[in-house]
Amino acid sequence: MTTTHLDSPLQSISRRRRAAAEIALAMGGFGIGTGEFAIMGLLPNVGADLGLTAPQVGHLISAYALGVVIGAPLIAVMAARLPRRLLLIVLMVVFAAGNFASALAPTYGSVMLFRFLSGLPHGAYFGVAALVAAAMAEPSGRGQAVGRVMLGLNVAVLIGNPLATWLGQATSWRFAFVFVGLVGILTIALLRFILPHVPASRLNSPLKELGALKLEQVWLTLGIGAIGFGGLFSVVSYIAPTLINVSGVSPGLIPFALSFVGAGMIVGNIVAGRLTDRHLMRAIGMLLAWNVIMLALFPFAAGNAVTAMISVFLIGTGVAIGVPLQIRLMDVAPNAQTLSASLNHSAFNMANALGAWLGGVAIAGGYGWTSTGWVGMALALGGVAIFGVAAHRARRA
């Protein structure tokens, strides 16, 4: 099984410090997840304050996603020789500064710029954090270690996003970004004093990182995430109006309903870690099949408030696919792990954009709110098809 250049020194630390280091890494994920999703609940507040139209405010979300897609490969290549801890701290400094700047930005253009800058560290942070978590773990526990670190993002959906949204609505949307920036500062302190220092390997180089782009299995694995994971976003992007217009859920209960998505994500990540450690490729296939089934059931479950809530929770568990895909990318690009691991989150943001767009096309085409389930199922089946190609090519190789 492939390991990282960091294995030996990191595996020598105590279990207690290892657990504390995972919490520190997860705290960064909590801050990034809160910063990414909080603005979705504050779009009306931002628009009213800056005098923006709905499409203009929506572009702020796109600016952040663009930062993620561009920043992940760019930073991974440029920072190939940096020690992991230093790189994580620098990434969190940029993230915190971008959020503080977003809170102070006076115009639409400046907010757009700072949201873009805030998104740049996103993919690289999660990629490097996953590498460090896997390096600290025993070879048979890499999936669970990565899953625990990724829990920070899931807890952000469950707790961080509602908290930041409430803060922004009760005071000003700007204070939501201040809150996210403060989480970033806390993460910097935790990383500095808890995460062990490990010198960068002299084997790392920008050219070796770029070598990942020549590997067929890297592109196939990224394709599984970019297509197969898009199904979840097809449904979740329109879950609020679907629950109101189809399931009969009161608008006041929508935040509570959305928490079911976050709860499902947490459960999914925990289960994914164990499945990944038992059999990596089988875990990817099983989780893709699970997504297909859960998304296909959504149109039938959406007609009742109770079954809709259960369905939303089960669809949320589909985020579990991220853990085995992260480990898979580490294994298929052993000499370019920073770039390949970081690109995983670029792929997920592409899935976000693709799923939301196709779901919107289906709704605008008159197929109804629940048609997002069928779109999601089709995307998940696309992920299954790419996985089939990847598995076949891997066996032949």
Most confident of the ranges 162-176, 192-206, 248-262, 293-307: 293-307
**Total residues found in the chain within this entry:** 397
| Amino acid identity for residue 269 in this structure | N
Eight-state DSSP code of residue 236: H
* C-alpha–C-alpha distance, residues 341 and 135, integer Å: 13
Cβ neighbors of 51 (< 8 A, separation 6 or more) are: none
* C-alpha–C-alpha distance, residues 302 and 310, integer Å: 10
Average confidence (pLDDT) over 321-343: 81
pLDDT of residue 4: 44
pLDDT of residue 200: 64
Average confidence (pLDDT) over 53-61: 71
pTM comes to 0.81
Q: Do 370 and 298 form a contact (C-beta atoms < 8 A)?
A: yes
Using the predicted structure, report yes or no on whether residue 376 has a pLDDT greater than 90: yes
Average confidence (pLDDT) over 145-155: 86
**Nearest CA to 68 among 33, 119, 28, 116?**
119
Count Cβ atoms below 10 Å from residue 159 Cβ, excluding itself.
15
Using the predicted structure, report yes or no on whether residue 377 has a pLDDT greater than 70: yes
pLDDT of residue 192: 92
Structure token digits, residue 266: 């947490």
Count Cβ atoms below 10 Å from residue 197 Cβ, excluding itself.
10
| DSSP string computed for 130-188 | HHHHHHHS-GGGHHHHHHHHHHHHHHIIIIIHHHHHHHHHHS-HHHHHHHHHHHHHHHH
pLDDT tens digits, residue range 294-314? Answer: 999 999 999 999 999 999 999
For all residues of the chain together, what is the average pLDDT? 85
* C-alpha–C-alpha distance, residues 243 and 250, integer Å: 8
pLDDT of residue 5: 44
| Percent of the chain residues past pLDDT 70, beyond the cut | 93
Using the predicted structure, report yes or no on whether residue 57 has a pLDDT greater than 80: no
Domains of the chain, first to last: 10-202 (1.20.1250.20), 205-397 (1.20.1250.20)
